[in-house]
Amino acid sequence: MQLFTNSIYFFAYGLFLTGVFLGLKKHNRLTALWIMVCGVVLDFFATVIPCSGFKSLAINIGGSGIIVSGIALGVLVWVLFLVAFFVRLMEKQRLFLRMITIIAIAWCADLAVLLYGIYSL
């Protein structure tokens, strides 16, 4: 189950990065935005559903400080993306592009911290 869950997280990040690259290349930016939304929503549900009490979906990652830090970074990514989404709707393109770049870096750090917390001794 652990490998499947990790695969979902990486797939969600890949979707988000695909949207980022399309947005930065000035292709259809609305399509790029929705690809990013799909990645963030997939990441959100991959995190929230297993933590909702369904034992068959639980990922059993424990509660060490490193894992809590990874989860906090994930929440920060979701909040930043929500803000970036509304910035995009206000058509502040330059700020939006800066924000999604910061989000991509923060999400990468989130994945690294979370995986380190899961697989460290």
Alpha-carbon distances of 92 from 11, 42, 78, 117, rounded to whole Å:
28, 25, 19, 37
Instruction: Kindly state the average pLDDT of the residues 33-37.
Output: 91
> Which pLDDT belongs to residue 46?
81
pLDDT tier at 6, thresholds 50, 70, 90: confident
Q: Is the CB of residue 47 less than 8 Å from the CB of residue 72? A: no
Q: Is the CB of residue 113 less than 8 Å from the CB of residue 70? A: yes
Residue 27 carries which side chain, given as an amino acid letter?
H
Distance between CA atoms of residues 120 and 17, nearest Å = 27
- Per-residue pLDDT of 58-96, as tens digits, reads 555 556 778 788 888 989 999 999 999 999 889 898 999
